[in-house]
Structure 1
């Protein structure tokens, strides 16, 4: 198994994919209080995730974390939201996100000779419905960079339990990816075919995602968080000759100081 530490380029530091998920609890706290004053947060996060690509091993990142939450605008990690307001218990936002989903041909033996696949900026919208049973979120995004021309749709349910300074939030969701997305990141083009790598045109698929987020408030301004996640890939991904597993796990942890 090969364990890689991603390059800390300015773009990668801006991305902070791992931090955007781990800091979700911080966004929820701000929304629950209904506070209108602006809040800033600064910290650091580290995460490791098992890549689905054969022979790739783990992707590990250690990056700074910057967060801002105001009355109309919020950003954390790779995600920026413009708040459109609420209709009853449902809150709506316009969303912009950077996703570092690409790879280089040198990242794993199975990818040797493959053309570089790039990450990209995504634009879309989200909705969050709070209710006593579970918070339901829906996110739709389209590739604004024009790399994959893909779309994604994510539906997730989460229930939060509080015990003193601890918060536990188990969650379960479905992540749908369009055929363009899957074909770009998991497909094999005619000019990339080898004896060990057959032609493959990706089809739309849905991944099951489940996990547990925890947050501990050390002081009113300081908190640490942990996110344990498991993903089960759909057949559009597992059928790819680039992939050798049907599930993937990830662990993310970090510290945040809120001003």
Structure 2
């Protein structure tokens, strides 16, 4: 376990060093795709509605479909969007830093799918950590580290993502690619099978740390200066720590989200 965290610390240090490398063409205020998180001195509020569906990795679970209202705020020192809130720490050259709090609904009930019958409930978690983003003309690079503050899984996640934005009139296109690392505690909590949960069809399984690859395309269309539509289509490729679980029957999953935003 100690060697595992040593490798993680080395990986985080290398990525952080790469984020801090100066660039002659860096643009601190490079635009982002819809929904936008603009760096502005004036506070900005947005209201909207989003809906999405995503394939679940759990065997026989089907798709997870949700619709929810959106409330966004972006100020000089604080911003939140959906279930994520950031405290802005400032910038160092082209790199911006924030402290982050986030809620994720990654859990399940034993009644959600036949393979989960008899499993103890896994709860969603409240996460805290930090995020850094380097804006430059080639790709916006972000690095997020979070730890489970609720103590449900006791896990950690590390996410590295690259995104580049193209604009054509009122349309915005932003392809992105990332890697999401999850600690063994996280994987074991959500994809592991405890000894008392094992059956003839569901062997006991202790999850190990893994890394998922994710790629997608975000698009936006500005209807008016204050109104916009957005669409996000993505695919996740699961690491072996997840695909080896007897609860899982797929190696990848697709998802789509769409919504409307009104900015005040």
- What TM-score, normalized to structure 1? 0.89
Query: What pairs up with 1:113-152 in 2 under 5 angstroms?
Result: 113-152=118-157
Q: How far off is 1:109 after superposition?
A: 0.1
Aligned length: 233
Q: How far off is 1:55 after superposition?
A: 0.1
Residues 161-192 of structure 1: CA deviation (Å, up to 9, x unaligned): 00111110000000000000000000000000
DSSP 3-state at the match of 1:122: strand
Q: How far off is 1:24 after superposition?
A: 6.7
What residue is the counterpart of 1:6 in the other structure? none
Query: What pairs up with 1:80-229 in 2 under 5 angstroms?
Result: 80-229=85-234
Q: Is the 8 Å Cα contact of residues 33 and 165 (structure 2) preserved in structure 1?
A: no
1:27 aligns with 2:36: yes
Q: Which has the larger radius of gyration?
A: 2
Quote the Cα distance in structure 1 between the aligned partners of 2:130 and 2:253: 27
Q: How far off is 1:132 after superposition?
A: 1.2
Residues 38-74 of structure 1: CA deviation (Å, up to 9, x unaligned): 0000010000000000000000001101000000000
Q: CA RMSD in A?
A: 1.0
Quote the Cα distance in structure 1 between the aligned partners of 2:50 and 2:137: 30
Query: What pairs up with 1:64-75 in 2 under 5 angstroms?
Result: 64-75=69-80
Structure 2 portions without partners, runs of 5+:
1-31
**Structure 1 residues 96 and 24: CA distance shift in structure 2, 3 A:** farther
Equivalent of 2:48 in 43, 48, 72: 43
DSSP 3-state at the match of 2:34: helix
Equivalent of 1:59 in 61, 64, 69: 64
Q: How far off is 1:25 after superposition?
A: 3.2
Equivalent of 2:82 in 77, 82, 98: 77
What residue is the counterpart of 1:19 in the other structure? none
DSSP 3-state at the match of 2:106: coil
Q: Is the 8 Å Cα contact of residues 202 and 247 (structure 2) preserved in structure 1?
A: yes
What residue is the counterpart of 1:9 in the other structure? none
**Structure 1 residues 107 and 24: CA distance shift in structure 2, 3 A:** farther
